[in-house]
Amino acid sequence: MPIKPLTLADVLAAAKVIRGRADGTPLVPSQIPGLGQEMLLKLETTQPMGAFKLRGALTALAALPPDAPGVVCCSTGNHGRAIAYPAREMGLRAVVCMSALVPAAKVAGIRALGAEVRIIGRSQDDAAKESRALVATEGLVEIPPFDDARVIAGQGTIGLELLAARPDLSTLLLPLSGGGLAAGVALAAKAIKPGLRVIGISMERGAAMQASIAAGHPVAVTEYPSLADSLGGGIGLQNRLTLALCRDLLDEVVLVDEVAIRDAMQALFFHDRMVAEGSAVVGLAAVMTGAVRLGGPAATILTGRNTDMTSFADIVAGRDLQIGDIFLKGRPYGA
Ligand SMILES: *Cc1c(COP(=O)(O)O)cnc(C)c1O
């Protein structure tokens, strides 16, 4: 069955669904020195549940059949929380499947919302298999974290808000994992402003979308622990939507390493007084390292704030960090 292509109209429809519940986050200039150009931060960190994923989750839940016995999803943490929160309000059963790589703080946040949690395997793909199995055995409706037209349209509403606030933007830097965010935002933003430069940013190891675009088909990647834990996981070997959209709409994909992510989290804390996840600062990291050079006003999305506070405290204090097999020598900010 051919898939109906997503358009700006789908994103505009999603904007109506989420109005008053997950829209209108602030857009503020970063005070970090040396970025070269004005760099605006879209504060999805201020969303209920601490991440942009509520936009896609609300859009998908609004389309649920009225007799659905419940919903199931796989998640690196934030999608599960974004589903669990409105599901509880709706009195709907929610099951969230996650791998053992998901940080404890995120798992606890989901449990606290009353969702059922299943920890399966060591990768997002293992969690995705469990989620699909529960569709078959328990009749739950699956809400995928990124490869879903409604989820993509929901995330795309950020693109509408960015260009409504600042039509003069020349570059968008978008954290990139499964590509629901990047596909939706790029779709909306380029429909409004075709000449806009849109760059996806992933972490250096396990950058599934970049590898899949290069290969021309979805490829499996090894998942590693990372400060950008929300960017982990594959794009799904049966990817239907986000690979084609990211391939067609992103001008470039850039990778940043753990040191760059650590430095960006520190700088954001010291200059902007903000707490954000590693996944949220990859756009800043790409500019701070010079991997991306800006030619005009730019914006990035601070996608989430659900960082583990113990490691965040270590990062701002400049203490040594062990991230899986990677050791980062501590470095106090500005040293
Ligand atoms: C999910 C998530 C991303 C990546 O979004 P995709 O749609 O999977 O590309 C980035 N940052 C945070 C904080 C997230 O939760």
Pocket test for ligand 1, best of 41, 199, 212, 230 (most atoms within 8 A of CB): 230
Separation of 230 CA from ligand 1 center, angstroms? 6
Q: Evaluate if residue 108 carries a pLDDT over 70.
A: yes
> Does the CB atom of residue 230 touch ligand 1 within 6 A?
yes
137 in the same domain as 81: yes
**Atom of ligand 1 at shortest range from CA of 181:** 7
**Domain edge (last residue) among 142, 166, 184:** 142
Total domains in the chain come to 2
**For residue 173, what are the contacts with CB-CB under 8 A and spacing of at least 6?**
199, 201, 282, 283, 284, 286, 287, 292, 298, 299, 300, 301
- Give per-residue pLDDT as tens, 250-303: 999 999 999 999 999 999 999 999 999 999 999 999 999 999 999 999 999 999
Whether residue 304 sits in one domain with residue 157: yes
Residue of the CA atom closest to atom 4 of ligand 1: 177
Q: pLDDT tens across 114-173, in order?
A: 999 999 998 888 899 999 999 999 999 999 999 999 999 999 999 999 999 999 999 999
CATH code of 286's domain: 3.40.50.1100
Ligand 1: distance of its center to the CA of 175 in Å?
7
Residue 334 is assigned to a structural domain of this protein: no
pLDDT, tens digit, 9 for 90 and up, residues 45-78: 999 999 999 999 999 999 999 899 999 999 989 9
User: Is there a single domain that holds both residue 100 and residue 201?
Assistant: no
Domain assignment present for 75 = yes
Is the same domain home to 259 and 173? Answer: yes
**Domain housing 295:** 8-50+149-319
Say if residue 33's pLDDT is above 70. yes
pLDDT at 307 exceeding the cut of 60: yes
Q: What is the 3-state secondary structure (H, E, C) of the chain?
A: CCCCCCCHHHHHHHHHHHCCCCCCCCEEECCCCCCCCCEEEEEHHHCHHHECCHHHHHHHHCCCCCCCCCEEEECCCHHHHHHHHHHHHHCCCEEEEECCCCCHHHHHHHHHCCCEEEECCCCHHHHHHHHHHHHHHHCCEECCCCCCHHHHHHHHHHHHHHHHHCCCCCEEEEECCCCHHHHHHHHHHHHHCCCCEEEEEEECCCCHHHHHHHHCCCCCCCCCCCCCHHHCCCCCCCCCCHHHHHHHHCCEEEEECHHHHHHHHHHHHHHHCCCCCHHHHHHHHHHHCCCCCCCCCEEEEECECCCCHHHHHHHHHCCCEEECCEEECCCCCCC
Look at residue 320 and tell me whether its pLDDT is greater than 70. Answer: yes
Distances in Å between the alpha carbon of 195 and those of 27, 186, 251? 21, 11, 10
Judge contact between 30 and 287, C-beta under 8 A.
no
Residue type (1 letter), 153: A
273: left (phi over 0), alpha (psi -120 to 50) or beta: left
> Can you tell me the distance from the alpha carbon of 205 to that of 257, in angstroms, rounded to the nearest whole number?
8
Model pLDDT, residue 3: 65
pLDDT value of residue 68: 92
Is the residue at 330 inside a domain?
Answer: no
169 plus 218 within the same structural domain: yes
Which structure tokens are listed for 118? 């299943």
Instruction: Specify the ligand 1 atom closest to the Cα of 233.
Output: 8
Tell whether 188 and 136 lie within a shared domain: no
Name the pLDDT band for 112 (thresholds 50, 70, 90): very high
Are 33 and 58 in a shared domain? no
Residue 2 has pLDDT above 80, yes or no: no
Last residue of a domain, one of 126, 142, 158: 142
Q: What is the pTM of this model?
A: 0.96
| Same domain as 199, residue 156 | yes
Mean pLDDT (whole number) for 92-119: 93
Instruction: Name the band, by pLDDT with cuts 50, 70 and 90, for residue 5.
Output: confident
Question: 187-222: per-residue pLDDT in tens?
Answer: 999 999 999 999 999 999 999 999 999 999 999 999
Is residue 332 in a domain? no
Tell me which of 114, 142, 170 is where a domain ends.
142
Nearest Cα residue to atom 13 of ligand 1? 304
Query: Does 280 contact ligand 1 (Cβ within 6 A)?
Result: yes
Q: Is the CB of 229 under 6 A from ligand 1?
A: no
297-310 average pLDDT score: 96
| 213 shares a domain with 102 | no
- The ligand 1 atom nearest the CA atom of 182: 9
Q: How far does residue 176's CA lie from ligand 1's centre (Å)?
A: 6
Q: Say if residue 45 is in the same domain as residue 65.
A: no
The predicted structure's pLDDT at residue 219: 95
The pLDDT, as a whole number, for residue 226 is 94
Best CA proximity match to 153, nearest among 16, 24, 40: 16
- In a domain? residue 331: no
Residue at 60 is within a domain: yes
Q: Are residues 135 and 108 in the same domain?
A: yes
| Within a domain: 275 | yes
pLDDT of 103 reads 87
CB 243 within 8 A of CB 179: yes
Instruction: Identify whether 327 is part of a domain.
Output: no
C-beta 178 within 6 A of ligand 1: yes
53 C-alpha vs ligand 1 centroid, how far in Å? 7
Q: Could you tell me which residues are beta bridge partners of residue 181?
A: none
Our answer on whether the CB atom of 196 is closer than 6 Å to any ligand 1 atom is no
Regarding whether 295 and 235 lie in a shared domain, the answer is yes
